[in-house]
Structure 1
Amino acid sequence: MGDAEEQPKLSKKAYQDELERLQVELVKLQEWVRHSGARIVVLFEGRDAAGKGGTIKRVAENLNPRIARIAALPAPTEREKTQWYFQRYVPHLPAAGEIVLFDRSWYNRAGVERVMGYCTPEEYERFMRQAPVFEQMLIEDGILLRKYWFSVSDAEQLKRFRSRADDPIRRWKLSPTDIESVNRWEDYSRAKDTMMAFTDTAASPWFVVESDSKKRARLNMIAHFLSTVPYTDIEPPHIEIPDRPPASGSYERPPRERATYVPDHAASLS
């Protein structure tokens, strides 16, 4: 971590221009998925504050939420803890014409659950054996599975944690588990290395995204993702907006006084 060569600073304009271009391509991919009936699953994994959430936001913000949805599962319930580990993820898998973006995934067991002791050694070992088999089943059934690991250095992670702690808008992102990860950096490193050794397979490889620069990470991940999907540009149907017909005179709007309007807060800013 942190040993990647330092890159020249990416200008705001270059970033915004390329992000816009890539987001146009994401919309094209969405339309291809809708027309072809393809099913896509994208896993976003990595350390806390590695930039996963910001990247997911840029991927999804211009897409139809009925086609591309984000799956961010909470901690399992007591009932779910008694189920087959992968069971609670299965209902979130896509049907034909859908994309699912997993903001963390079944790999919780290989990372935080392993390091924090939330699973037993037997459960962990079973996961490591079953995960490649589970993913092979998804792939054989026709799902396009992509796995991204966001790699952030220890210094940058600490910087982002401190920034969040001082920001009332983003403070909610910090949890006790996040704070504890500062003390367990090496434990998480070992867990990640073991996870990669077992689950970085030819059929379902991991793609590592260097994420000390959030902007570069977003562009690099989206560009790579697009390059791995054989989508084509679907010609959209022509839409003609008709002229509004002349008023018939039979409709009269009720007096404004009958409605309750929100106060004009914006007016107080000028």
Structure 2
Amino acid sequence: MTQGNKARLMVVVSMLIFGTIGVFVKFIPLPSSVIAFARSVIGTLFLLIVSVVSKNKPSFSAIKKNLPILLALGTFLGANWILLFEAYRYTTVAVATLCYYLAPVFVVLVSPLVLGEKLTLKKFIFSVIALFGMILVSGVVGGENTVSVTGMLFGVGAAVLYASIILLNKKLKDISANDTTIAQLGISAVVVGIYVFFTEDFSAMSLTGKEAVLLVIVGIVHTGIAYALYFGAVKSLKAQTAAIFSYIDPVFAIILSALFLSEPMTVIATVGAVLILGSTLVSELTDK
């Protein structure tokens, strides 16, 4: 398997893992911001333990060399989660998700300027098709959503940060995926932790043993492992490719919610999912 195909497989697996998080979070009775804080802390600790046990300790020299970018990335990751949570508060999940997944389009359009990647007409068309598919999947079409401008602005802000994370990761030099993930998750834990401290009341929160296990799984699998795969893949892929692949996440999430949570998946949403997956697949197959 070539390095490029390995990276594609890694980003697809990470998106599939991200897509399952909703099924787990559904059964964790904590505010989304607290879950985000817990997952970043657990993910960081898990990767640190793995590094020590495998005798592959983090390279502090590599982290120090890339520290300015890592600080920005960790801050963006934490702020990205926060803005998305605020979008959910002010508008519907559908509208917030639609705004959030403008990020791949931002990456496709900006990467030629920031990274010097060539923007082909084919890539642009497929990204637009994927975006249209996302509009159908989100449920905005055919629904009776009351759109909040504030919620939309939070969602678009989260999208800008998500796009920035994809682009900035391409600027990292001579640092392993494990070190990158540990640094970014650790910094994001601080950012989200500050937000949670001022916005949530911990005294009213409690978990059963089963719920605690689910939270640990979210921290280890959906955060530590998934982000390690994702950040490791992004370095070897064009930013445009990584961006388009990110549409797999919401599609898989909606399919799983229909299968396991009995949440309805309409014909329109199904058409949207086909457009997203089809445009992603054809884009990559014709890119070889």
Query: Scaled by the length of structure 1, what TM-score is found?
Result: 0.24
Query: Scaled by the length of structure 2, what TM-score is found?
Result: 0.23
- Determine which structure has the larger strand proportion and give its number: 1
Bigger radius of gyration: 1
